[in-house]
């Protein structure tokens, strides 16, 4: 089932996630796959569609910054302040996860959580209504190029999902991955992968 990013389409997306289904959806960077971060079956299906090794962690995506930070009350103050400066946006933050939240998304290292909060503007704004997080990964076979249009997504992946949410053409550059796991100790960060947001922009935002 293919829908557009309207209130009705987002409701279909939400219903799919709530029962452990797998959906294809637009973020602020590239198209992604999403499922319930607490559903092992959904995660196994998502990984199977991508051909992704089961020992590689995925990110948890919230669609609202306040909801994301409320879900991580134990986050160190300095790290929380950094997250507030960088989110929402085209970054994936690797955060210390002392409470081992979202363990299925973090395996095999539950001490680190990947967090995404996309910047939703224009046609993607209805996604802000989603009240819960999703486990997400880019909608491409592992090791292949990311998709900026639904039609660029591998046919096998499109056929294997339960819902397709079409948000039109996206920028096409994946998120920048920023390691903040040691940031609370000494302000140290590492750019693991530079993507939609430059290294300079990250460091400027953090002062």
SS (H, E, C) the chain: CEEECCHHHHHHHHHHHHCCCCEEEECCCCEEEEECCCCHHHHHHHHHHHCCCCCCCCEEECCCHHHHHHCCCCCCHHHHHHHHHHCCCCEEEEEECCCCCCHHHHCCCCCEEEEECCCCCHHHHHHHHCCCCEEEEECCCCCCCCCCCHHHCCHHHHHHCCEEEECCCCCCCCCEEEECCCHHHHCCCEEEECCCCCHHHHHHHCC
Percent of the chain with pLDDT over 90: 97
Q: Are 150 and 24 in contact (CB under 8 A)?
A: yes
Structure tokens at 79: 């790290």
Cα 134 to Cα 39: distance, rounded to the nearest angstrom: 10
HSE at residue 171, side-chain half, CA atoms within 13 A, is 16
Omega before 108 within 30 of 0, i.e. cis: yes
Q: Is the pLDDT confidence value at 1 over 90?
A: no
Cα 110 to Cα 35: distance, rounded to the nearest angstrom: 19
pLDDT for res 207: 86
**Domains of the chain in sequence order:** 2-205 (3.90.870.10)
Cα 147 to Cα 33: distance, rounded to the nearest angstrom: 11
pLDDT for res 128: 96
Percent of the chain with pLDDT over 70: 100
pLDDT for res 143: 86
Quote the mean pLDDT of the chain.
Answer: 96
Report the chain's terminal Cα–Cα distance, integer Å. Answer: 45
Q: Strand 190-193 and strand 176-179: pairing?
A: antiparallel
pLDDT band at 62 (very low <50, low <70, confident <90, very high): very high
Q: Are 83 and 188 in contact (CB under 8 A)?
A: no
- Put simply, whether the predicted model's pTM sits higher than 0.85 gets the answer yes
């Amino acid at each position: 089932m293919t829908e557009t990013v309207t209130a009705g389409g987002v409701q279909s997306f939400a219903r799919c996630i709530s029962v452990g289904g797998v959906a294809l959806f637009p973020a602020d960077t590239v198209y992604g796959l999403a499922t319930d971060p607490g559903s092992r079956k959904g995660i196994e299906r998502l990984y199977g569609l991508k051909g992704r090794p089961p020992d590689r962690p995925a990110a948890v995506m919230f669609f609202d910054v306040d909801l994301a930070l409320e879900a991580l009350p134990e986050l160190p103050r300095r790290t929380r302040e950094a997250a507030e400066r960088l989110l929402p946006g085209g970054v994936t933050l690797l955060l210390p996860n002392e409470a081992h939240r979202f363990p299925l998304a973090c395996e095999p290292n539950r001490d680190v959580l990947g967090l995404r909060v996309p910047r939703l503007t224009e046609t993607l704004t209805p996604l802000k209504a989603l009240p819960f997080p999703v486990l997400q990964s880019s909608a491409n076979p592992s090791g292949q190029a990311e998709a900026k249009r639904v039609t660029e997504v591998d046919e096998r992946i499109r056929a294997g999902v339960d819902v397709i949410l079409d948000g039109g053409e996206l920028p096409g550059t994946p998120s920048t991955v920023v390691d903040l796991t040691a940031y609370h100790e000494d302000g140290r960060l590492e750019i693991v992968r530079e993507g939609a947001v430059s290294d300079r922009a990250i460091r400027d935002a953090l002062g």
